[in-house]
Amino acid sequence: MSVSEGQCPGVSRRTVLRGAAVTAGAALLGGAADLGGAPGALASTAPRVYTRSEWGARSAKAGAQVLAKGPDRIVVHHTATSNSTDYSASHAAALSRSIQRFHMDTNGWSDIGQQLTVSRGGYIMEGRNRTLPAIRDGGHVVGAHTADHNSHAIGIESEGTYTSSAPTDKLLESLIATCAWLCAVYGLNPAQAIVGHRDYNVTTCPGDGLYKLLPELRSGTSARLRSLGLRVAQRAEDVPAAHLPGFPAVPQGERVVLFHHGPAVGDLD
């Protein structure tokens, strides 16, 4: 596969998703520490995340709402933008500024909607204001990315449009690192927590090309947690039924519009 089709040089998808050997949902064994949502003790699991000031965010119109209880779902999206071959940090910063401008000036929102954005070059950007401090404290910033589920779901935007193509390996690598960090902080089981936007709302997001990789993303996240000496026990979830994915029908022939990838705010938000 060429670079333009989604691969970054020097990293194979097999290497990035080596965790596929770990069955999704299995306990991570071997003298590991149990995950229990202890953010202070798990700070070392955090990947490099560029702050809002680093990517040049505008001031939000209002401070984000912060809930004391962490999310129980990690929702993966695509940005519905071009599959750029500019893998630089400056491009990733410009993308975040563009998304924020659209969300604030076109949608009329108070700030950028998602909590985190991952570029095709693998750069991870803080999204909505107060996101990083909330994660460090084990709390949750309420965003605008998954209609009727923003109070319990944290959203990760993956740069690109994956209706048919696959994301870059660098993007996948950073998605794994980000999901492992969030699962560690919040005590989440990757097999249950990592979902796609289409699992909740009527949309094709995050595109067939990325959605079909979610099982491998869950396995890769589990493998990374194991490598960090952390264990997620296989257990039944203690979450309200309303928080569980409803898996609505995926629309056929949905037209992908720049920056728009399905319902982001609903009546329950």
Mean pLDDT of the 106-122 span: 98
Mean pLDDT of the 131-160 span: 97
How far apart, in whole angstroms, are the C-alpha atoms of residue 122 and residue 137? 25
How far apart, in whole angstroms, are the C-alpha atoms of residue 59 and residue 52? 9
Domain assignment present for residue 223? The answer is yes
More reliable by pLDDT, 2 or 218: 218
Residue 269: what pLDDT? Answer: 87
Residue 231: what pLDDT? Answer: 77
- CATH number of the domain at 110, please: 3.40.80.10
Domain assignment present for residue 209? The answer is yes
Amino acid, res. 41: A
- Torsion angle, CA of 85/263/140/162, rounded to 10 degrees? -20
pLDDT digits (tens, 9 = 90+) for 216-229: 999 999 999 999 88
Residue 34: what pLDDT? Answer: 58
The share of the chain scoring above pLDDT 90, in percent, equals 75
Domain assignment present for residue 186? The answer is yes
Domain assignment present for residue 260? The answer is no
Residue 267: what pLDDT? Answer: 92
More reliable by pLDDT, 29 or 50: 50
Domain assignment present for residue 22? The answer is no
116-118 sheet: strands from edge to edge: 49-50, 124-126, 116-118, 153-158, 73-78, 194-196
The residue range of the domain holding 111 is 36-57+65-236
pLDDT digits (tens, 9 = 90+) for 174-204: 999 999 999 999 999 999 999 999 999 999 9
Residue 87: what pLDDT? Answer: 98
Residue 36: what pLDDT? Answer: 53
Domain assignment present for residue 183? The answer is yes
pLDDT digits (tens, 9 = 90+) for 22-44: 333 333 333 445 555 555 446 67
Mean pLDDT of the 235-256 span: 88
Nearest to 258 by CA among 108, 124, 103, 133: 103
- Torsion angle, CA of 21/24/25/26, rounded to 10 degrees? -10
According to DSSP, the β-strands at 73-78 and 153-158 are parallel
Domain assignment present for residue 163? The answer is yes
Residue 7: what pLDDT? Answer: 37
The mean pLDDT value of the chain amounts to 86
Is residue 111 within 8 Å of 46, Cβ to Cβ?
no
Spatial CB neighbours of 181, under 8 Å, sequence gap ≥ 6: 42, 45, 46, 47
- Write out the H or E segment, with its range, that includes residue 118: strand 116-118
DSSP state of 12: -
For residue 58, how far is the Cα from the chain centroid? 22
How far apart, in whole angstroms, are the C-alpha atoms of residue 17 and residue 218? 9
Residue 214: what pLDDT? Answer: 98
More reliable by pLDDT, 216 or 20: 216
Domain assignment present for residue 17? The answer is no
| pLDDT category of residue 235 using cuts at 50, 70 and 90 | low
Q: How many domains does the chain have?
A: 1
**How does 3-21 read in b/e, with b if 16+ C-beta sit within 10 Å?**
eeebbbeeeebeebbbbbe
Residue 60: what pLDDT? Answer: 98
Strands annotated E in 128-254: 140-141, 153-158, 194-196, 230-231
